[in-house]
Structure 1
Amino acid sequence: MTRPLNGAIVFLTITVAALLAGASKGGWHFVLLGSLAGALIAAGGNAINDYFDVEIDKINKPHRPLARGAIKPQGAWWTWRLLSSLGVIISAYIGPYTFAIALFWVGTLYWYSKSLKRTVLWGNLTVALATGLALLYGGYTVGNVQSVFIPALFAFLVNLARELVKDSEDVAGDVQGNAMTMAVRHGVSASLGTATAVLALLIAATMVPYVEGVYNSSYLLLVSFTDLLLVYAIISMWRKRSPQNLARVSGALKLSMVLGIAAIALGSYPWR
């Protein structure tokens, strides 16, 4: 329900963003607290998502705790309230900008789970924006966001594509639940086509920082592997559109975000 792997990725993303922004030895308690706060809010967001999606998940994700009846809906509701509140309180302690982002996260993740995810593109854009903001949040834990705009943009794009793929994966349950996603309203081909266009833009964009001298050759080496993974995802999603394969493609895109963050971290070393 809380998706520990997703929380770990959020924790890592915020920590690396803080490194890129120039985290100092004396300020690491803010970085770690911020990373924890982001992971808690993400976990709470997953819980409220399952709360609103329990009927759809009985079709699309029957293994999830609420869908199979292992946890009652009220348990998910209180999990969301507790984890989100803790994340916001910690963010308020760090500073006003992290507090503002945390409030935005909690509000938009609730809105997304309740209604936005059932709309064409708006839900996808919301999740992508929330993910990109994780890097800005990491920058604000150390008071500097200039170094994290590029990775924030990359995170936005890869997660926008991933959300479109997930909509295609979940189309059967979304039809039953009257969720008007792009895949439902315009067809799986339209959803995957949009995801392909976003990934093509991302692949092209990953070369720009190296050409402009922003990142070093270590970045180029690792981001090339990341781009190959993105190409694989594009080819695979068109070869086989089964929910099982699209779930694998979604996993590959999640991995590509981790690799992309690692590429930027290595490409920026020594950190400021």
Structure 2
Amino acid sequence: MTHPISSPKPIHWVHVVHAYGQLFRLSFAGIAAAAGCAAVYALNPALPLSNYLLTGFILTSMTAAACAINDYWDIHKDRINHPERPLPSDRLSLPQAWWAAALLFASALIAAIPLGGYAFLLVAISTVLLWYYSLLLNYSGILGNFLVATIVAFLLLLSSLAADRPFALLYPIGFLFCYALAREVLWDVHDAEGDRVQGVVTLANVWGSQAAFSMIWGLIGVMLVSIPIATTLLPMGHPLWFAGCAAIMLLTLITALIPYQRQINEANYQQLVFWERLGMLFGVVGLLGTAPSL
């Protein structure tokens, strides 16, 4: 007895849109855009709306593109670490992810032109580094952590350039670098198995998760200690506002980090991701108090 060959199940456009939303990590991209716009406002609230729109668009596009190309290169690791993502679950194809990343990076570059030559150069350099990030990660995951943390911190530099005050946010840039580095090392703890299979050298899979957590706690300690020093010595417009929001952001991370360190599992990881992103919103609000007055 023969059975008829069934045709492929049609994919509804809603499912495709949802898959792209997951590929782009839209919540994270939105936080990046909000942080950039908040920094622009803190530096110069009298700027025209176009500066906010361009900054927000660039950061949204670059963040989404970085997530897409990262998943493109990391599909073999994600089949182990994140099988639910659009590419390993076959809800999107590799060419779809590649073209989406290319178009978003190109859009960010075009949008950076009106902000001036330095902003365009910063976006161009970040685009090249983000495109080849996963390949550099295969050479050294630890180097990759520092690279990503640097690029994340550059979002405040882009905002400073958009507001024509390039050196006004040096402390927040350093603070964000430490936070992003701790975050990258933390994600490596979750991804250790897939990284180990692919031969990626990270702190978690070479020296163990406890060494990774030690570095994370060290970076959190540096940030906590820096808050009262910075608010006392630096000419911030609203130092107490920044101190309160930054403390809440770090305490939110700590609250989720403790149970994850005690028991590394998927449920605690998802809780960690949720609370970490919620805490980042407080960090965005805190940026409004960091800039010195005009």
TM-score by length of 1: 0.91
Distance 1:117 1:251 in 2: 28
Distance 1:243 1:221, change over 3 A: same
Q: CA deviation at 1:182?
A: 1.4
C-alpha distance after superposition, 1:117-143 (max 9, x if no partner): 662411111111111000110111121
1:141 matched residue in structure 2: 162
Is residue 90 from structure 1 mapped to residue 114 from structure 2 by the alignment? no
Q: Which amino acid in the other structure matches residue 254 of structure 1?
A: R
Distance 1:133 1:181 in 2: 23
Work out whether residues 168 and 291 of structure 2, in 8 Å CA contact, stay in contact via their aligned partners in 1. no
Is residue 261 from structure 1 mapped to residue 284 from structure 2 by the alignment? yes
Work out whether residues 48 and 110 of structure 1, in 8 Å CA contact, stay in contact via their aligned partners in 2. yes
1:64 matched residue in structure 2: 85
Q: 1:4 aligns with which of 12, 18, 26?
A: 26
Distance 1:254 1:18, change over 3 A: same
Q: CA deviation at 1:113?
A: 2.0
TM-score by length of 2: 0.85
1:248 matched residue in structure 2: 271
Distance 1:148 1:196 in 2: 24
Over aligned residue pairs, what C-alpha RMSD do you find? 2.1
Q: How does 1:39-118 map to 2 (within 5 A)?
A: 39-116=60-137
Distance 2:169 2:291 in 1: 14
Distance 1:114 1:51 in 2: 11
Gaps of 5+ in 2: 1-22
Q: CA deviation at 1:190?
A: 1.3
Distance 1:117 1:204 in 2: 34
Q: 2:211 aligns with which of 190, 197, 214?
A: 190
Distance 1:86 1:194 in 2: 36
Distance 1:147 1:233, change over 3 A: farther
Q: How many positions carry a matched residue from both structures?
A: 270
Q: CA deviation at 1:270?
A: 9.8
**Greater Cα shift, 95-104 or 251-260:** 251-260
Is residue 20 from structure 1 mapped to residue 18 from structure 2 by the alignment? no
Q: How does 1:162-173 map to 2 (within 5 A)?
A: 162-173=183-194
1:218 matched residue in structure 2: 241
Work out whether residues 178 and 223 of structure 2, in 8 Å CA contact, stay in contact via their aligned partners in 1. yes
Percent of counterpart pairs with the same letter? 24
Q: CA deviation at 1:81?
A: 0.9
Q: Which amino acid in the other structure matches residue 278 of structure 2?
A: L
Distance 1:254 1:224, change over 3 A: same
